[in-house]
Structure 1
Amino acid sequence: MQPDIETNRLILRPFRLSDGDRVAQLAGDKAIADMTANIPHPYKPEMAVDWIKTHEAQFVTRKGIIYAITLKGDDDIIGTVSLPKLEHGLGVLGYWLGVPYWGQGITLEASQGLIHYCRMHLGLKQLQVMHLVGNERSQSVIKKLGIPYKGNITLRMQGAEREVRLYQLIL
């Protein structure tokens, strides 16, 4: 069973099917969809539930790990942090945070907690992260995590060719 991860201000916990409405509400914000590779707009609760249903298998097979971000003392999710791809010691970091929670260092803290856990328990040895060109908030998180920039690449996402910045770190 996927354990909770505790940081100074946060509890990272597995998602529950009952989180679907909240995921759709937060991730469905156009500001989130515009800056992520695979969150559509609009984002419906049943889409969120279908996504949540994939999490346990990823964790059990050790091919990925996905957490809901919550503030200590409040079980409502405010975002997510994950390694949706984890293979041969290489993890690809992903995250989004509800707009009302931006600018408080939450994504950085959640990412640090997840990275530490995965290094200790899941054999994480190398970290990769990408963000769309123009997503300065994500760029700031990555810089604070100390992950070096490797270059830009073009990926097809949400029906269009999009330029992303790629970062990679050997841990």
Structure 2
Amino acid sequence: MLKKRELVECNELYELLSHPTVFPYVRQKATSADEYWFMTKQLMEEEAVGTAISRTITDDWGQVIGTISLFDIEDGAGFLGTWIGLPFQGMGYNQKAKHDFLSELFFELDFQTVFLRIREENVKSQKAAAKLPYVVEANDTHPTLLEQINAGDKKFKLYQIPRDLFYLVTANADADAAHEAM
């Protein structure tokens, strides 16, 4: 489902991210496969020095379908960025990828908070975030951060995933699943 980024996947990923319904919402706005290769190489270098973390999302058969990354890492927190190619949207991969990635961030890498900034016009991503029981709106609780992310032309809504809430939700879900299995 998630794996470390590899440059060999860049052509396939570029084809998926360049779709007109996906491209406006990706962070790495490459205009060619070569440019995407260089951006991915740079992102891998950022991961090596601890300022970003990125994984490739695969489908159930190992085909690359998108990426999930944590950018702007600072003080045990960062901004989550996820995109999935159009043919694979609506199949549950977003929730599974977020669960696996957040588990890695919180329980293996000891992050405390993950933020999401979602463009006001990106209703699809807002609905996807609302489906996740561990995501809370953070516009009111982090006004300074909200102001920072809205300093430019594009306007965003701010969401937060606190580690404790993620743990409570996933621990309860695991307990419910174990109980149902009995």
User: Distance between the aligned counterparts of 2:117 and 2:28, measured in 1?
Assistant: 13
User: Distance between the aligned counterparts of 1:155 and 1:37, measured in 2?
Assistant: 17
Greater C-alpha Rg: 2
Which consecutive aligned stretches of 4+ in structure 1 deviate over 6 angstroms post-superposition?
Answer: none
Whether the 8 Å CA contact 1:81–1:110 is kept in 2: the answer is yes
Q: Secondary structure at the match of 2:129?
A: helix
Which amino acid in 2 is paired with 1:90? A
Which amino acid in 2 is paired with 1:64? A
Q: Which residue of 2 aligns with 1:56?
A: 44
Q: Gaps (5+ residues) in structure 1?
A: 1-10
User: Distance between the aligned counterparts of 1:27 and 1:77, measured in 2?
Assistant: 11
User: Distance between the aligned counterparts of 1:24 and 1:167, measured in 2?
Assistant: 27
* Correspondence 1:162 to 2:149: no
What percent of counterpart residues are identical? 21
Q: Could you give the per-residue CA deviations for residues 137-166 of structure 1, whole angstroms, max 9, x where no partner exists? A: 21122222332112365353xxxx111111
How many residue pairs were aligned?
A: 154
User: Distance between the aligned counterparts of 2:47 and 2:129, measured in 1?
Assistant: 24
Q: Which has the higher helix share?
A: 2
User: Distance between the aligned counterparts of 1:169 and 1:70, measured in 2?
Assistant: 23
TM-score of the pair, normalised by structure 1: 0.81
Q: Which has the higher strand share?
A: 1
Query: Are residues 13 and 84 of structure 1, via their aligned partners in 2, closer, same or farther at CA, if it must alter by over 3 Å?
Result: same
TM-score of the pair, normalised by structure 2: 0.76
Query: Are residues 84 and 101 of structure 1, via their aligned partners in 2, closer, same or farther at CA, if it must alter by over 3 Å?
Result: same
Q: Gaps (5+ residues) in structure 2?
A: 140-145, 164-182
User: Distance between the aligned counterparts of 1:124 and 1:91, measured in 2?
Assistant: 9
Computed over aligned residues only, the root mean square deviation of the Cα atoms, in angstroms, reads 1.8
User: Distance between the aligned counterparts of 1:72 and 1:59, measured in 2?
Assistant: 26
User: Distance between the aligned counterparts of 1:12 and 1:87, measured in 2?
Assistant: 23
* Correspondence 1:121 to 2:108: yes
